[in-house]
């Protein structure tokens, strides 16, 4: 799953031929980004997540759990084993930045910004992961793929595979140019490599056809969400921008799916 191209810290913009812009903004899971990276979000008019619409409930539950017992989510994942635990344990050793935070800090921060009446006022929010028969079929196909003998055999050597993938990811990432604090920049590079290694190992249990089906369906729904945003645009003087926070290592695949120009699939704004 790894690619020779370096992972980007900068947003990628895709201009929809039907109007509007989809801005893919890279973040690292469970990491609080520095102010310089947060400012790279830019101005935006609507927000879309590559997640199901019940994700805010999960975030709220995690926030309550952390309030009652700080670190409980991190400790639970670290004790569970697997590649996610390896990522979490690696993150916990980074001292220069805030890591292992629950709920996932950057997506939740953006949701709160979209829901805030201050500043530009509330902005439309979309959760584009579908909930229909086609998506259920994709999930079932993923489950079948993950229990194939070759994947069960591969899991026996997961420790060795993790180390190899992490080494490859370290060659792909580096500190963000916009971060002037050397310690923070180095910490971000470490967290980026760990997150990329986790993502690549997770993706390795799916074949290319399954990954393409997922990404193209999500891209179709991003286009649909942008269409809804453009249709309800209040400010007629500028091009509407739909901001999409996406894990840094996943962003190239989502961009590639958008570049294939899948037909838009209508998505309604999330109602609070």
Q: What is the reported pLDDT for 2? A: 44
Omega cis (within 30) before 254: no
Each residue's pLDDT tens digit, 48-73:
999 999 999 999 999 999 999 999 99
Q: What is the reported pLDDT for 114? A: 96
Ranking 12-16, 114-118, 193-197, 222-226 by mean pLDDT, the lowest is 114-118
Closest by Cα among 163, 12, 180, 257 to 265: 257
Q: What percent of the chain has pLDDT over 90?
A: 83
Q: What is the reported pLDDT for 150? A: 64
| Distance separating alpha carbons of residues 44 and 226, to the nearest angstrom | 12
Q: What is the reported pLDDT for 232? A: 65
Residue with tokens 């509330």, as numbered in its chain = 122
Contact 262, 223 (CB under 8 A): yes
Q: What is the reported pLDDT for 4? A: 60
Q: In the chain, what are the domain boundaries?
A: 12-259
Strand partners, 127: 49
Ranking 66-70, 95-99, 120-124, 194-198 by mean pLDDT, the lowest is 120-124
Cα separations in angstroms, 219 against 64, 72, 254? 33, 34, 7
Contact 242, 23 (CB under 8 A): yes
Q: Both ends of the chain: CA-CA distance in Å?
A: 37
Indicate if the pLDDT at residue 271 is higher than 80: no
Each residue's pLDDT tens digit, 138-192:
999 999 888 775 666 666 567 888 999 999 999 999 999 999 999 999 999 999 9
Closest by Cα among 167, 195, 23 to 104: 195
Mean pLDDT of 83-110: 97
Q: What is the reported pLDDT for 153? A: 62
Q: What is the mean pLDDT of the chain?
A: 92
SS (H, E, C) the chain: CCCCCCCCCCCEEEECCCCCEEEEEEECCCCCCCHHHHHHHCCCCEEEECCCCCHHHHHHHHHHHHHHCCCHHHHHHHHHCHHHHHHHHHHHCCCCCCCCCCCCHHHHHHHHHHHCCCCCCCCCEEECCCCCHHHHHHHHHHHHHHCCHHHHHHHHCHHHHHHHHHHHHHHHCCCCCCCCCHHHHHHHHHHHHHHHHHHHHHHCCCCHHHHHHHHHHHHHHHHHHHHHHHHCCCCCCCCCEEEEEEECCCHHHHHHHHHCCCCCCCCCCCCC
| Distance separating alpha carbons of residues 127 and 109, to the nearest angstrom | 15
b/e sequence 72-99, b meaning 16+ C-beta within 10 Å: ebbeebbeeeebbbbbbebbeebebbbb
Q: What is the reported pLDDT for 235? A: 54
Strand partners, 243: 23, 47
Q: What is the reported pLDDT for 84? A: 94
Each residue's pLDDT tens digit, 200-244:
999 998 999 999 999 999 999 999 999 999 986 555 568 999 999
């Amino acid at each position: 799953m790894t690619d020779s191209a370096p992972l980007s810290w900068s947003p990628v913009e895709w201009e929809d031929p039907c109007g509007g812009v989809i801005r893919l903004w890279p973040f690292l899971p469970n990491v609080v980004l520095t102010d310089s990276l947060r400012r790279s979000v830019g101005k935006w008019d609507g927000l879309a997540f590559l997640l199901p619409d019940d994700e805010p409930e999960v975030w709220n539950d995690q926030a309550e759990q952390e309030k009652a017992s700080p670190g409980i989510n991190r400790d639970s994942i670290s004790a569970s084993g697997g590649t996610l635990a390896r990522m979490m344990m690696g993150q916990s050793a980074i001292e220069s930045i805030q890591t292992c935070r629950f709920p996932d800090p950057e997506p939740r921060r953006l949701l709160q910004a979209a829901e805030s009446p201050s500043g530009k006022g509330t902005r439309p929010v979309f959760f584009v992961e579908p909930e229909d028969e086609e998506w259920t079929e994709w999930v079932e196909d993923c489950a079948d793929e993950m229990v194939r003998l070759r994947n069960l055999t591969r899991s026996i050597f997961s420790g060795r595979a993790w180390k190899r993938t992490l080494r490859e990811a370290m060659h792909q990432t580096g500190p963000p140019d916009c971060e002037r604090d050397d310690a923070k920049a180095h910490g971000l590079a470490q967290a980026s490599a760990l997150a990329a290694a986790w993502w690549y190992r997770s993706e390795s249990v799916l074949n290319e056809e399954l990954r393409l089906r997922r990404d193209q369906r999500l891209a179709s729904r991003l286009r649909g969400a942008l269409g809804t945003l453009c249709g309800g645009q209040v400010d007629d003087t500028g091009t509407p921008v739909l901001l999409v926070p996406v894990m840094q290592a996943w962003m190239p695949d989502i961009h590639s799916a958008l570049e294939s120009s899948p037909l838009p699939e209508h998505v309604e704004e999330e109602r609070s």
